[in-house]
Structure 1
C-alpha cells in the first residue's frame, strides 16, 4: 500500500467521523443568530392583527457616548426575506464606515397567516379586476391604506420611542409587492417616509393603477419631499409575462421627473441580467450607497 493511498484512507475515515455525527445530530447545535438583533411583537389596535418586528441595532448603539444619538431607520416589508438580506448587506459597510450606522426594522407577515395571504392584502392598494393577476390573486387584496396607517401611526412611533430612531431619516424598503406598496405611499402620503428604495416594483398590478394614483396626486400637489431609488432586473416580467416590468419602471420614473415636484429626487437603474428573484440585494446595496453613504465609502 502506497503512502498516498494510506493517507487517503485515513483522511476519508477522519471525514466520516466528523461529518456523519454532524448530519445525524444537526438539531442539537444552536442556530446562528444575527448579531445585535432582537424580535419585538406589536399588536395593531387598528388592524386587530399582530406582527413581529425584526430589529437590528447598529454597532456601538449602547455605548455611553451614543446614549443621546438618534439613528436613520430602514423599514423593510417582507421582513422574513428582506431583513436577513439587509442585515448581511449592511454588516461590513456599517462596521467599516462604508455606510452610516442605521437601525434595520423588518416587518413580518401577520401572525398566524401565510406570507402570500398577508402580503397580498397588506401591500396592494386595490383589488385586481383580473383574478389571475399574480400568484396571490385568490387572496384578499386592497389593504395598503390600512397597512400604511399601521406603519406610520404605530410601528414608526414605537421604533422612534424605544430605539432612538431619527424621525427625519425614515427609509422605506420594498421588493415586488413591497415596491408597489412603496410607490403607493410615495404618491399618496410621501412625507410618511423621507426616502424610498423600491426594487422590482409590481407596477403592473390592477392594470397599472399606480399611474392613476400618481396622476391624481399631481392634480393637487406640487411638492413631493422625498428621495426615491428604483431598481429593476433586466429580465423582469410580471407573472403572466405579458408586461415588461423594465418599461413600467422607466415610464413611472420618467413621469415623476416630468412633474418637477419640489423636493423630489429620483434615481432609477436597470440591473443587467437580473431577474425578479435576484434584483433585491443588488438594488438595495446601490440604493444604500446613495442614501446612507458613510465617512469611508
Structure 2
C-alpha cells in the first residue's frame, strides 16, 4: 500500500497551489520552482501521439497493486486531464476508497510552441484542447487556438482509450472521466456530444459560463429522451460540484447546466450535484475526494452514500452484482446457494444480464428465495443491498399483512370483514354521510369495491387539508363528498381511498396508533428497521404507496406469505385471513391487466402454467416494478424492484425461466 504521507503531501500541495483558478482567459501564471521533483515509481509514463494532428502527449498510468496477481480480472479505468495537477490527489483518494482501478492521466501537449510555453507555462495547450468555442478576440484566438475540444476528444477516443484497452485488462462498462475547471468544461462537452465515451463523468467547477447556448444546442442535436428508444439516453452517471465561495457568475451557469440535464427526464442519466466548501481553487481537493467516494458507489452494490441522497441521484451500477451464494448480512434472512440444474442456472444468469441491459425496462434488483433461504441475489442500475427502494402500490399488499397481524393478535376477527367499515370508527357523524355509506365493509374496501365516487375537483379542494382530514376526519370527508354508494358503484375501482379507509380501521382497533403498531408489532418483529413509511395528510401511515423498503426486507413479506403467515414457526399473520387475502376474489377491471390476474385483499393472484401443471402465484405489485412474488407450492419467493413505466414485461422471464427452474426439484 502506498504511504499515507503521499496522500497528505498531495493534499498540502493542492491546497497551496492556485493553479486551479482556471478558465478561458489565459491569464494563469505557473511559477518556476527549484529543487528536487517528487518521483512516483508506481506511475508508468507512456508517450503517445495524436495520430490526426501529430501532437505529442504523455499518459501517466497507474495500475492497482494486485493487477499482476489477477490475470483474469478486468479493471475500471479513471481517465483524467490536467494530469500533472490531478495525479497526486486522485491517486491518494482512490488508494483509500477505490483501490481496484486503473488511473490514466493525460498530459498537456509536449511539443507545443516554445514561446507560448515560456510565456504561459507547460499547460498552455489546455486552452485549445479543453475549450468548446473560439475566443471573441481575434488576437487571443490566433495565439491560443481556443475551441478544439472536438479534436482532443477524437484523440482520446481513437488513440488514448484504444491504447489503454489494448494494453491493459480494462472493463469496457466502467470508464470514468475526471476534469476540473476548464477540463470540467471539456467533460460537459464530451457528455453532450459523445456520451458513450465514458460511463461516469466527474465535472468539477466547469467553466461553462458563455457556453450554455452551445451546450443546449448539443443537447438538442442529441434529441429528447424517449423511454421506448434506448439510444436516446445519455446512459451516464454525472457528478457535478463547485465551491461554496465561487462567484455567482460562475455558479449560475453550472446550475443551469444541471437543470438542462435534469430536464431531459432521462431514466438512464443520473445527476448528482454537490457544493463543496471553498472557492474555485480550494474546493478542488475535497471535490476529488467526494467524487471518488461517489464513483465507488457506481461500482459497488453496497452503498457508501448517505441515505438522504435522492433516489434519482444514485449513480447506476456500472456492472450488475450477481451472486448465487448470497452473503449472510445478519439481517434475519437465511442464505443458501442456488441448487438447480446447470442449464437453469445459466438461463437465470442470462435473464440477469438482460435486466442489466434494459431488455425488460428499468429494474434494480432480483432476489430469489427457495425453501426459506435466499439463494440468488442481484442488483442493477440504482439497486443497492443497503438502500431502501420506493414501493409505490406494493405498500397496499404490506398494509393487508398489517391487518392480518391485527387479526392474529385478536383486535379484529374474520367475521369483521363483512361488517360496515364505519362500525369500527366511533368519531364519525353519520348524519352527514352519503346514502349507502354502510354498504362499505372491510371486505369491499380490501377488494377495491368500496364504491366511493368523488369528483376530482371536489377532492382537490380538501386532499391536503390536514385539519379536515385529521384522523377519522379522512373517512368522514370521503363519505360526505361521495355520490351515493350503490350496488352499481361497488365494483372494482383501483385507487388509494380504499386502502386509507382500511388503515383508519387499523388505527381505530389496535392499541396506540397504527404507526406504532406497524413499527412495533409488524416491522420490528420482522427485523425491518431501515425503512421509510410516509404519513398521509390524515396523520396515518400511507396505505397505498410512499414507502421505501430494502429488497431483502421485501423478501421477508413474501416468506411470510409462503409460510402461511408463520414467522419462526409461530403464527404471525392470521392463516385464515392470509388464505382469503391471496385468493382471486375479483377480476381487476383494468384494460391493460393480463386476463388471468385476479385480486384478493390488496394482493394479486394468477396461475402459472409450466408444462402440463398449473401453479398458484400471488404477488404484491407496485407501479414501476416493485413485486413480491410467491409460489407456495414450490417454496419459492421472488422480489423485483424497479422504476419502469411499462412494468409488465419483466414477468415474462419470471413465468418462462425462473419459476420453471424450480419445478424440477
What TM-score do you get using the length of structure 1 for normalisation?
Answer: 0.78
Contact 2:89–2:288 (8 Å) recurs in 1? no
Matched residue pairs, number? 255
Contact 2:64–2:99 (8 Å) recurs in 1? no
Alignment partner of 2:238 out of 228, 231, 243: 228
Q: Pick the structure with greater CA Rg.
A: 2
Post-superposition CA distance 1:158-197 (Å, at most 9, x none): 1111121211110011011111010001001100111100
Q: Which moved more, 1:179-188 or 1:256-265?
A: 256-265
CA distance in 2, matches of 1:35, 1:90: 17
For 1:110, the equivalent position in structure 2 comes to 109
Post-superposition CA distance 1:204-236 (Å, at most 9, x none): 145753333233333587311000000101122
Structure ranking higher on relative contact order (CA contacts 8 Å, 6+ apart): 1
CA distance in 2, matches of 1:124, 1:268: 22
For 1:126, the equivalent position in structure 2 comes to 133
* Deviation of the 1:138 alpha carbon: 4.8
Which consecutive residues of structure 1, in runs of 5 or more, have no partner in the other structure?
A: 1-25, 238-242
2:149 paired with 1:139? no
Q: How much is the aligned-residue C-alpha RMSD, in angstroms?
A: 2.6
User: Is the partner of 1:48 in helix, strand or coil?
Assistant: coil
* Deviation of the 1:35 alpha carbon: 4.7
Post-superposition CA distance 1:109-132 (Å, at most 9, x none): 011223443101111121022569
Alignment partner of 1:277 out of 281, 284, 288: 281
CA distance in 1, matches of 2:182, 2:241: 14
For 1:84, the equivalent position in structure 2 comes to 88
Post-superposition CA distance 1:213-265 (Å, at most 9, x none): 2333335873110000001011223xxxxx62222221211221111124100
2:294 paired with 1:290? yes
For 2:449, the equivalent position in structure 1 comes to none
Alignment partner of 1:248 out of 250, 253, 276: 253
Pick closer, same or farther for the CA change 1:215–1:153 going to 2, 3 Å: same
Q: Which moved more, 1:168-177 or 1:218-227?
A: 218-227
Contact 1:72–1:101 (8 Å) recurs in 2? yes
User: Is the partner of 2:53 in helix, strand or coil?
Assistant: coil
Contact 2:79–2:105 (8 Å) recurs in 1? yes
Pick closer, same or farther for the CA change 1:38–1:137 going to 2, 3 Å: same
For 1:41, the equivalent position in structure 2 comes to 47
Q: Equivalences for 1:108-257 in 2 at 5 Å?
A: 108-113=107-112, 114=117, 115-130=122-137, 138-206=143-211, 209-218=214-223, 222-237=232-247, 244-257=249-262
More helix by share: 1
Pick closer, same or farther for the CA change 1:215–1:270 going to 2, 3 Å: farther
